[in-house]
Structure 1
Amino acid sequence: MAVIVEGTPPTRLRFTFPESWHVDKFDAGNFYRKHILWLEGMKAVDILASRGDLLQLIEIKDFRGHGIQNLKKQESGRLIIDVSKKFVDTFAALVAAKRSEERGLAPFYTLLCDLQKRPVEVILFLERDDPETMLRRHKLTLADLTAKLRRLMSPYRVRCRVMDRRHMPKEIEWTVR
């Protein structure tokens, strides 16, 4: 079982993946820090996860206790733009990892760069403590944000998801506590 912890107490999130998954805390890894981070403006997702022929890029945002401060970022679309950039920059970093033959990242770049068009999912895991009525009023529900993410990521032919602990699809095999 692979466990990745994101954040600091008391709002720490613990992602637990079954044994059959390959998992990497990509934005804290050696390859990213040594070869990608130094490029001005480059970003990366928090977690790379793969199982079988599925690749998932997971970006984690925890806005609990900071809803008011982050409302403008969500309303303006800046959140989805920033997250989309992380996904695209991570795609570029995985191509660099493949070309550098970075073996530790092979379970991920092999799926991304495969000509057989393996399924790739980009996931924004967004924890918030804002009331659902307020989110609906500002068009910031998970469905609203998923639609915005889908529009920005459409050229990449990936499946887009925005979820939180209360709204995780049943087919997601990993857990968050």
Structure 2
Amino acid sequence: MRFDESGIVFEFDDHLTVDKFDDTGYYKKYFKNLPGGKGVDFILKSEDTLMLIEVKNCAGHEGENLWRISTDNSKRDRTATMVDTEDRDSLDIEIPKKVAMTLACLCGAHSQPQLQTHSGVLKKYSDFIMTNNISLGTNKIKVVLFLEGDFASNTRPQKAILTNLREKIKKKLSWLNCNVFVKNIESHRRHNYYTASMKADNA
């Protein structure tokens, strides 16, 4: 299954159940009415894993997005950028918020079987969460920030930046039994879930 998101092409393995979260009927008709009710880009399920993926393609626009990789909003109001940063957060805050909102939406869909036409698509994901297998360690929730862009500097290599973001996101998601990953096309290794590549200009 192929999806284009923010100029990046994702090819998901056929054995996965995958949905673009904000295209689901329950999100568009109901959950979007909640102020701040924004979820992740992709939600997918395998036999033993629920994965939430948020995609940020900053390639070619790294300068105006430096504030987003500076954790805890530390440079949001001090970095020169053409982007309006009002009511926006650095990625280590934005991603946990979107994860929380996504899970809230899944719970909402699970609680509304009478809205099967819209909630049915998400129910297969909420059913996965509602079992005891996650607490038992049999099943896992994985959170992925897919961040494309070269933010490396003379003092901070790219790997250190991604690692710091991962640790900050992980801390803010300590309330959830999950594994956190921060990846880009170069660092991503295929592991039975998906491949990622930049979209060709003429594609």
TM-score by length of 1: 0.89
1:114-168 per-position Cα deviation (integer Å, ceiling 9, x unaligned): 222121001101001333645439x962111111111010111111111011111
**2:181 aligns to what SS in structure 1?**
strand
Structure-1 residue corresponding to 2:176:
156
Give 1:18-167 correspondences, 5 Å limit.
18-77=13-72, 78-101=90-113, 102-117=119-134, 118-131=139-152, 133=154, 135-136=156-157, 141-167=161-187
Q: Which has the larger radius of gyration?
A: 2
Maintained 8 Å contact 1:75/1:140:
no
- Inter-partner Cα distance in structure 2 for 1:65 and 1:133: 18
Give deviations 1:69-123, integer Å, cap 9, x for gaps: 1111221432110111000000100011111232212331111222221210011
Listed as ranges, the gaps of 5+ residues in structure 1 are none
RMSD: 1.8
Which residue of structure 1 lines up, in the alignment, with residue 5 of structure 2? 6
Q: Distance in 2 between matches of 1:110 and 1:134?
A: 46
Q: TM-score, normalised by structure 2?
A: 0.78
Gaps of 5+ in 2: 73-89, 114-118, 198-203
Contact 2:16-2:193 at 8 Å conserved across structures? no
Q: State the secondary structure of the residue aligned to 2:66.
A: helix
Letter in 1 for 2:142: E
Q: Once the two structures are aligned, what percentage of the paired residues are identical?
A: 27
Aligned residues: 171
Letter matched to residue 152 of structure 2: P
